[in-house]
Amino acid sequence: MATVNETMSEDVARSELDRFFSTMDLQTTAEQLERDDPDDYLRIVRAVMRGELLINDDGCPVFQPRMGSGEPITFYEPTGASYMAMDRVKKGSGDIEKMYAFLADQTRTSRATFAGMAARDVKVCHLLAGFFIGG
């Protein structure tokens, strides 16, 4: 699975993901993710291996979008307000707008941060949010 831009081994990347899952008390592991959803596993582990997704000292993911000149985005542990942000989205809005409301609150940015992001980058952000929203 080596890539040209690889900055760390897959084993180290898996270990970092497991540290994130453990710190945030998420009920998954890199091994379980690889088994249950190999495509998501590859996307997120490759982002870590390339150095685009780091886990900071607090266990929070920090993502550096590949496209554009965006600043790194920290995915803090969500609060109740992060989940409530989805309810504040205008009635009739779709799931993506609700996801962006959640992400904006969690990352302390704005919905526009994600709306203007290239698909390859926003997919990583969706995965990170999904760990908190999905279960």
Give pLDDT tens digits for 23-66. 999 999 999 999 999 999 999 999 999 999 999 999 999 999 98
**Mean pLDDT of the chain, nearest integer:** 91
- Predicted TM-score of the model (pTM): 0.89
How far, in Å, CA of 84 to CA of 79, rounded?
9
Tokens 């929070």 sit on residue: 60
